[in-house]
Structure 1
């Protein structure tokens, strides 16, 4: 899949879906399949347009929802659906200030849109002035077809959405999140150097780069790790703001893998979250923290020994 940032001139005509695609869940998968089918039927390239940062992150970074996927994870997941081109548009003040007709002209001329797919609640243009009806009107004028895809339901009643997945993850309901995602929830990133506090406590951890300011879940978890030489090794991970050892620091993901010895620095790992063991908490001393980590590991080993997923 080609990934093109801030395109100015269309390379080929395309069928294109527009959205944030955070999480690339089952609803998104249906959108992507619809685009591929339309592209094949009309002799067009299949494409996706997404934004970086996401619109809500640009307008209100302090209150924007946590990301389910980093941009890199999103790219990899969309590529798995056979999309040919992913356009990543920088969402800045200039882009946000476009009038609806300017956005439509850009779709046609910069992206080569000839067939456009959006959701029912799609809004575009300055102050969200454009809606799906406006886009259909502009498409008729500019010679591209617009199709609106209804929401995808997971049980006939409830819409599959990134918001519902965030809520399930925050509550530790991993089977529910996995049902809506179509896969277990994971975070993928490269191992980077950290403060090495885990090593000092007797639990050397892989400090996995998050690629997002706010994680969708926090706490201590039973996990499996994939990538490098880990091959699905079991372990325990801490995800969040580490109140036990810091105040006001950035979110981190630190994974301790059972029965593993080796150097993972610079390697890309995927952490699969299976069970929430507890919330983050401060501790009176490092000895108290060390004792709690022992208990966390014992609980996780018991979870895996029971064969529970």
Structure 2
């Protein structure tokens, strides 16, 4: 059983006076109250931007040395990590192993709760051993309460292996905040429904994970300006997006963009260089490799104005 005094001291578990009578409201007033509470999330995240920036910098450094970004959590927190990890390959053209999401209870827990999974400290260690956690990696423990045993065990084990750790929670002074190398703790206040941390805490987590991977990918040369030039085209809509990106950057016609995309074997970034610098596929690929995938650096190398 949970210690009641500890439980009541947790912000994420306390009762929200603004929603105490939410069950008596008509539908429009109900959603207005939820919306009013949601507005507090962005402000809470704003207060922890310096910590998020530090997390982006250490994550970028890990990527550059061949390490991975590993999310680990239980319930909603675990699912959000898996969501963010799964969206990196199509958006940024990354290897699926570059950003990894682990959830207490394994794959079954993505859709259905697994009894006592979040309390299983040994499972966290087994899950990290299964993916061969290495010192070059970064581990991000995500737990709204900041006290989930599965997550705390993962962070402790990672630190013992020389792995840099980041902790994302919503309760200041939590075990996760105190144990992680970088603690990101947006204080979003009590939930609309007491203890339902999939709400404001979950929204804050999603915002932070978005910033973490987006920021790191920008710093890895995965975008040019605000264009996703490493997008993986897995459907007709994304193929068309690639062509429009090529046109946007180079000013070429749709037909020229289409030809360049074919000649570049479907790699948008390479196609851009082929058009702008009049290069073959092989030449453009080598030029990108020379500049670690940064189009801007490749442009400067060829005297192309940005």
TM-score, normalised relative to structure 2: 0.33
Q: Indicate the structure with greater strand content.
A: 1
Structure having the larger proportion of residues in helix: 2
Please give the TM-score of this superposition, normalised by the length of structure 1.
0.33
